[in-house]
Amino acid sequence: EEDAREKYYFYFSPSKTKPVGSDALINIDLTNLAVQSRQVFAENTKLPDETSITVHKIWQKADNQETERVDGQIELTLKQIATKADGTSQEKDYTTAIVTFADNWTKTFEKLPVQGQDAAGAPVTYTYYVVEKAVSGYSTMYGDATSSSTLSETPKDFATQSGGIKVINKANKKY
């Protein structure tokens, strides 16, 4: 289903050269801001009051091959970061969850606030990330659920307001 909202395309070229690949955009109104200014009223869309974040656990062997694990459990702590308009932020443990094979190693944290106020009444926006309690014999990596390329040992690198986070446990090599 295509997004029905009106879209605007701008570029800046003093030499009046269209951007590479723009010829493929048929029936699109491109505005060169070097030649003409254009004012468009675009009404802000209110942020939703709540969001959800899904965490999916992936088990790997020491050779990076995915494997199935049917026993045990993991403990996830959802961290909330409250950020003010000036960029300063505070974080806290928001909730914890136990995840098992019966859950398909997946947990969805629902009804998470998107915005609110800090203790002094200043408006804040919230982002979230998860930290997994260490699993003996495994190293832990975190990533965006939609990307397979970027991983980090630092869970905060994948703080998000909505969507998915993956937690990968790779078995340590045994010598």
The answer to whether the beta carbons of residues 40 and 6 sit under 8 Å apart is no
pTM of the model: 0.70
State how far the Cα of 115 lies from the Cα of 124, in Å rounded to an integer: 6
Backbone angles phi, psi at 55, to 5 degrees: -110, 130
Q: What average pLDDT does this structure show over 8-36?
A: 72
Percent of the chain clearing pLDDT 90 (strictly above): 42
The one-letter amino acid at 168: I
42-63 confidence digits (pLDDT tens) = 677 666 689 999 999 999 999 9
> In sequence order, which residues have a C-beta less than 8 Å from that of residue 114 and are 6 or more positions away?
47, 48, 49, 50, 51, 125, 126, 161, 162
Mean predicted lDDT score pLDDT of the chain: 85
pLDDT at 42: 67
State how far the Cα of 150 lies from the Cα of 142, in Å rounded to an integer: 9
